[in-house]
Structure 1
Amino acid sequence: MIIKNIESKIKLATLLSVGSLLAATIICIAVSFFAYRQVVNSRKSIYILDKDVPILAQQTNMEMNRPAEYRAAVDLFHSLFFSLTPDDEHIEYQMKKAMYLADESGVLQYNNLKEKGFFNSILSSSSVLTLQTDSILLEPDKKFTFYGKQKIERRSATITRSLITEGYLMDIPRSENNSHGVLITNWKTLENKDLSHVSKNTF
């Protein structure tokens, strides 16, 4: 009788040990799985400090955000190229930055304007040129069409011109001078004509 009791206690202890081992193994696997998922999910979010206040910023898929970057690159290039002040150093600085965003087609237009005395006329007339972007149309083949208005402020008049250009976009490695990693190619001006010419009182 005593022997049977001992055997049953040994069996019970064995079952409890095996059961505890299995339960511990299952718990460890479950904890590891949930911890892994937690790490993966946490990598999808980053925090930005705004005046010492952490703000959650969700990471987005690069391809989902690419159209916005294309528009930003096109807008930046046109702003650099067409928003100018009567300062030769400023014009040179703007053109230098713009040329990092376009291929030889941008250089060609710059040289054509330079040969025609466009930049000298800005200096001699003390003109201030500002560009307003109306819209940027993107097509599936990475072709873009830019629509905008350029205002030319002179001492004698304010001129508003319509500006329409087109070109193609090519993905390139990001750099300090091209943070969006977008190169404008085959760029050309389709329209650049006066919309209004308002004279100023000179007395």
Structure 2
Amino acid sequence: MFSQFKNIDTAFRHIKTFSIFLILANVLTIGFCIYKSYDMVNQAQNRVHILYNGKVLEAIASDRKSNLPVELRDHIKTFHQLFFNLAPDDKAIQANISKALYLADESAKKQYDNLKESGYYNNLISANISQDIEVDSIKLDVNAYPYAFTCYATQKLVRSSSTVKRRLVSQGTIRDIKTQTDNNPHGFLIQGWEILENRDEDPKAIKP
């Protein structure tokens, strides 16, 4: 009789042990299935289907970090083009500067105020000078936040009789404001912006 009880107790322990292992296996299986489901959903969200010429093409959306240097450079380039591409027209100047100031902090506003007070914009208008800028290169450090940059560009001051080229070097830092708008599509803000160099490349005017 005691032997029978002992066999029953042993069988019960075996069943208990087997049940625990079965439950653990089920939990691990369910956890793995949930993980794979989330992974598949994330992969599906990163895939974009584009209809082109009647054909459905699949594209993969990349993480923003992989495009960060490209976006930062484009933001910096756009700011400089808006700030320095100027026509001899007060309304056109105001329109460009207003757009540029959405992309930078008060340091850009101070630079604008200084140029305005010195009569720079009035001289452009009165002399009928167009100013264009071409960004040559942008040195960018994405290893430290906020991201430091140095922008190298060439300015052209064009009048009816001559063209003058100027070398422009500016620097600052750029931070992520986490918000993208129509006025600031990349959601970055240039701060502590200053002009290091802005001088004629050739003291002699270059005829067009």
Aligned-residue offset at 1:52: 4.7
Aligned equivalent of 2:185, options 179, 186, 189: 179
The residue number in structure 2 matching 1:193 is: 199
Q: Does the aligned pair in 2 maintain the 1:155–1:200 contact within 8 Å?
A: no
Please, what is the CA RMSD of the aligned residues? 2.1
Counterparts of 1:116-131 in structure 2, within 5 Å, are 116-131=118-133
Aligned-residue offset at 1:145: 0.2
Task: Report the number of matched residues.
Answer: 170
Structure 2 distance, partners of 1:177, 1:52, is 34
Q: Secondary structure at the match of 1:66?
A: helix
Q: Does the aligned pair in 2 maintain the 1:151–1:160 contact within 8 Å?
A: yes
The residue number in structure 2 matching 1:144 is: 149
Q: Secondary structure at the match of 1:121?
A: helix
Aligned-residue offset at 1:121: 1.0
Structure 1 distance, partners of 2:149, 2:126, is 34
Q: Does the aligned pair in 2 maintain the 1:158–1:200 contact within 8 Å?
A: yes
Aligned-residue offset at 1:132: 0.7
Q: Secondary structure at the match of 1:101?
A: coil
Code of the aligned partner of 2:59: A
Aligned-residue offset at 1:170: 0.9
Unaligned runs of 5+ in 1: 1-28
Code of the aligned partner of 2:151: F
Q: Could you list the per-position Cα deviations for residues 95-122 of structure 1 after superposition, in whole angstroms to 9, with x for gaps in the alignment?
A: 0000000000000000000001111111
Deviates more, 1:115-124 or 1:39-48: 39-48
Unaligned runs of 5+ in 2: 1-29
What TM-score comes out, normalization by structure 1 length?
0.76
The residue number in structure 1 matching 2:85 is: 83
Q: Secondary structure at the match of 2:205?
A: strand
Aligned equivalent of 1:157, options 155, 162, 172: 162
What percentage of residue pairs aligned between the two structures are identical? 38
Aligned-residue offset at 1:53: 4.4
